[in-house]
Amino acid sequence: MSDEPARILMAKTSLDGHWRGVTIVERALREAHFEVIALGMATAEEIVRAAVDEEVDLVGLNLGGRSAVVERIVAELRAQGSDVPVMVGGVITPQTKKRLESSGIAVFPPGSSLEDIVATARRLCEHSAEMKQEAQ
Amino acid sequence: MSGIEEGTSLDGEPGNAGRREGASRTTAPAYTTSSGIPLSAHYGPGDVPDDHWLKVTAPPGQAPFTRGAYPEMYRSKPWRIFQLSGFGNPEDERERIRFLLEHGETGFLMEHDRMTADHLYDVDHPEVVARRDDVGLTGAVILSVDDYETVLDGIDIASTYAHAGGAVVQHAPFANACYWTVARRRGIDLRRLAGTGQSDFNLTYLGCINKVQVPPRDGLRFNLDLIEHCTRYLPKWVPVSIAAYNAADTGLNAFEELGALMANAAEYLDGIRQRSKLEVADVAHGVGGVNLRTSMDFFEDIAKLRAARSMWERLLRERYGVTDERARRLRIHVVTAGSAMTYSQPLNNIARGTLMGLAAVLGGAQSLGVSGYDEAITIPSEHAHQMSVRIQQILAHEANLTAVADPLGGSWLVESLTAQLEERAWEFFELIQREGGYVATLDSGWLHQRASAGASLAMDQVENGDRILVGVNAYQDDVSPFEVEGFEGTTDAWDRAMTRLAALRRERDSRAAASALRTLEGACRSEVNIMGPMLDAVEARVTVGEIGDVFRTVFGNWDVPIVF
């Protein structure tokens, strides 16, 4: 990896403005020396655009609603040629968690440890950087 | 876009200071309450200040009400079993309310869709269309008074106490007006209609911040309008109910929750005094129905409810000179902490709900909502909702808890904690006043910083093992995992609301609706109380989004002080 800190886009997919959980995660990521772009409540289209424009290494989604939006975002990112990995946190049913994990998305339900989230973010960003290098 | 450049990041000093303090506890466990009050190994008479002993010689039902709001407490007034409910279509919300009432709920709380209700958007607004999957997940979609008619169909609202929805400030005038309109159409005398609005600042401007909403100063005007209107026309209705719960679940500790509650109330009552149309004494009863949280610090939570009543009595007596003792009596609805419910081993949450509910009862709550055991996973299933009611029924009927008021009165520990919480809470109240008052601390982000620091500290304590959460950071093995299905309500709420919206626009008298909206806009731009024009607009079948358009035009959007 280069000396530049890895960049993570964080966004809330629904119009639910509870910020306690997402800001705790953002803080932990910043303390672990990631550059965090906090997009707040955004539509799938806005999230995809920001992820592509900002060339981020990871997209973190805070779900406050249903989960189909996650697959929509991933599909649109891939359609635009972005391989950026996605992780998801929030109130998620066990079935949804399994479904998302089976398509390679890291899922963090309530009670997840910050250590795990940061470690996963690091692994995904490193993978992301390798992919970028290969592409060059 | 929620300003990447604007506002203050929450990564400020308070949180980092909290982190270091939390981390230092790993080596030497300190015995404290969750708000940091040191705990001795045992308590005796010397731990209770003399002036506090004097206060609690007054029996329950007498000022300062530390020991309870009513003399006989649950003998004469059982607490109300009062669970938040609502999802999907208006019919879905109605069926769940009926289900809960059939299973023993003794009042009902309506929860409405976060996007359409809280944001005042119609279902065809682009922000909603872009998220149409989410519509109806966390509350029913209510477009107009017609949908209130559907929800309330077959429910006896003349004799059942209700929360009319409108937890969010900008939604409250519309929600209350819809409910009252249904009641009036049924021939119910509004002077006798009992129930509650909410219009809570702690939810709206602190814990759960909408993407678009009227600024706090204008929200304050809405609440004063509601207070005035109800005092004149609906004396049995609680016009606004401060939900300190939301401040606590955002991260404020026990005494901060109390201090913020009093500062919030002072903002309302100062506003009433400045308008000088009504006396504070006239509105005190209406404003004195509030909402507090119990969580997983049993004795501190009990002490907190006792301190809240005592502080309220003092606030009204000393700051506002209210002489009628009954008008200084605080009534408390308790909601058990949603944040205390865990994702893993969800059946453990039944034990947590029981403990938090027990704290509410021992603290003398007037009504109670116990969070569902599936709270961390989904919206409550029928079964989880039923369990919340059953927990309350077991507390009410099986454990012989209701015969004696304030059973922990005189406990050296509980009295000591009550006195200490009160003292620290007044200090926090003064701190807020020095910052310019409660609304100023929302506009500046000061209160958000405090809550954020508290939330980080709590997280760090779990992260580094100072605080054990069973099934989360300890005892994770589960011999027979109980998997919650994950109730997700209905999936047709957006489609069906689109159909209803089209029909409504076609069928109603569009000129009457437009004229009512113009009158409402005129009221918003003047000093006229908005509730009269709001009731007329509701009667003219305006939609929630049309109300939102008026508010957005007149008041603009709040400049949110934090980034998230």
Per-residue confidence band for A132, with pLDDT thresholds at 50, 70 and 90: confident
Q: Across the interface, do A13 and B343 touch by the CB < 8 Å criterion?
A: no
What one-letter code names the amino acid at A136?
Q
CB-based contacts of B354: which residues, under 8 Å, 6+ apart? B370, B391, B394, B395
Nearest to B211 among A41, A94, A111 (CB): A41
CA separation (Å) from A65 to A14, A93, B20? 6, 11, 34
Nearest to A38 among B4, B130, B485 (CB): B4
| % of chain B at pLDDT higher than 90 | 93
Residue from A12, A66, A69, A96 to probe the interface with B (highest B Cβ count within 10 Å): A66
Report d(CA B65, CA B100) in Å as an integer. 32
Comparison of pLDDT for B126 and A133, the residue scoring more = B126
Strand pairing report for A35-41 and A7-12:
parallel
Dmax over Cα atoms in chain A, in whole Å?
Answer: 40
DSSP-assigned letter for residue B40: -
The whole-number pLDDT of residue B366 equals 98
Which structural domains are found in chain B, ordered by start?
13-21+65-476 (3.20.20.240)
Q: Across the interface, do B250 and A20 touch by the CB < 8 Å criterion?
A: yes
The answer to whether the beta carbons of residues B206 and B442 sit under 8 Å apart is: yes
Report d(CA A75, CA A77) in Å as an integer. 5
Report d(CA B310, CA B317) in Å as an integer. 11
- Residue A1 placed within a domain: no
Report d(CA B376, CA B405) in Å as an integer. 33
Report d(CA A32, CA A115) in Å as an integer. 10
The whole-number pLDDT of residue B485 equals 84
Q: Across the interface, do B377 and A93 touch by the CB < 8 Å criterion?
A: yes
Measure the CA angle with vertex B237, ends B273 and B137; round to 5°: 110
Average pLDDT, chain B: 94
> Does residue A3 have a pLDDT over 80?
no
The answer to whether the beta carbons of residues B93 and B151 sit under 8 Å apart is: yes
With contacts defined as CB-CB under 8 Å, which chain B residues touch A63? none
Q: Across the interface, do B127 and A17 touch by the CB < 8 Å criterion?
A: no
- Per-residue model confidence as pLDDT tens digits over B41-67: 999 999 999 999 999 999 999 999 999
Compute and round to an integer the Cα radius of gyration of chain B: 23
- Residue A104 placed within a domain: yes
Q: Across the interface, do A109 and B377 touch by the CB < 8 Å criterion?
A: yes
The whole-number pLDDT of residue B190 equals 98
CA separation (Å) from A131 to A52, A119, A135? 15, 19, 6
With contacts defined as CB-CB under 8 Å, which chain A residues touch B211? 15, 17, 40-41
User: Nearest C-alpha of chain B: how many angstroms from A101?
Assistant: 16
B265 token code pair = 């109330």
Q: Across the interface, do B131 and A14 touch by the CB < 8 Å criterion?
A: yes
User: Residue A28 belongs to a domain with what CATH number?
Assistant: 3.40.50.280
The whole-number pLDDT of residue B29 equals 64
Q: Chain A residue with minimal CA distance to B455?
A: A20
- Residue A101 placed within a domain: yes
Q: Which residue has the tokens 């939102």?
A: B548
Terminal CA-CA length for chain A: 14
Report d(CA A86, CA A123) in Å as an integer. 12
E strand segments, B47-198: 80-85, 107-110, 161-163, 195-196
Report d(CA B308, CA B302) in Å as an integer. 10
With contacts defined as CB-CB under 8 Å, which chain B residues touch A44? 130
- Residue A26 placed within a domain: yes
- Per-residue model confidence as pLDDT tens digits over A91-130: 999 999 999 999 999 999 999 999 999 999 999 999 888 8
pLDDT in tens, chain B (564 residues): 333 344 455 654 433 333 334 344 445 668 999 999 999 999 999 999 999 999 999 999 999 999 999 999 999 999 999 999 999 999 999 999 999 999 999 999 999 999 999 999 999 999 999 999 999 999 999 999 999 999 999 999 999 999 999 999 999 999 999 999 999 999 999 999 999 999 999 999 999 999 999 999 999 999 999 999 999 999 999 999 999 999 999 999 999 999 999 999 999 999 999 998 999 999 999 999 999 999 999 999 999 999 999 999 999 999 999 999 999 999 999 999 999 999 999 999 999 999 999 999 999 999 999 999 999 999 999 999 999 999 999 999 999 999 999 999 999 999 999 999 999 999 999 999 999 999 999 999 999 999 999 999 999 999 999 999 999 999 999 998 898 988 989 999 999 999 999 999 999 999 999 999 999 999 999 999 999 999 999 999 999 999 999 999 999 999 999 999
Q: Across the interface, do A94 and B11 touch by the CB < 8 Å criterion?
A: no
How many helices, marked H, and strands, marked E, lie in chain A? 5, 5
The answer to whether the beta carbons of residues B558 and B220 sit under 8 Å apart is: no
The whole-number pLDDT of residue B3 equals 36
Nearest to B459 among A24, A46, A109 (CB): A24
Nearest to B211 among A13, A17, A30 (CB): A17
With contacts defined as CB-CB under 8 Å, which chain B residues touch A71? none
CA separation (Å) from B429 to A80, B258, B335, B425? 53, 8, 23, 6
Report d(CA A84, CA A56) in Å as an integer. 7
The whole-number pLDDT of residue B483 equals 86
Structural domain of residue A84, as residue ranges?
Answer: 7-135
- Residue A65 placed within a domain: yes
- Per-residue model confidence as pLDDT tens digits over A41-100: 999 999 999 999 999 999 999 999 999 999 999 999 999 999 999 999 999 999 999 999
- Residue A2 placed within a domain: no
Q: Across the interface, do A65 and B133 touch by the CB < 8 Å criterion?
A: yes
H helices within B211-328, ranges in order?
216-233, 244-250, 254-275, 280-287, 298-314
3-state DSSP assignment of residue B42: coil
- Count of CB atoms within 10 A of residue B397's CB? 12
- Residue A53 placed within a domain: yes
With contacts defined as CB-CB under 8 Å, which chain A residues touch B473? 113
The whole-number pLDDT of residue A21 equals 96
The whole-number pLDDT of residue A2 equals 59
Number of domains in chain A: 1
The answer to whether the beta carbons of residues B316 and B280 sit under 8 Å apart is: yes
Report d(CA A75, CA B347) in Å as an integer. 36
Nearest to B486 among A15, A40, A95 (CB): A95
CA trace torsion B63, B237, B365, B338 (10° rounding): -140
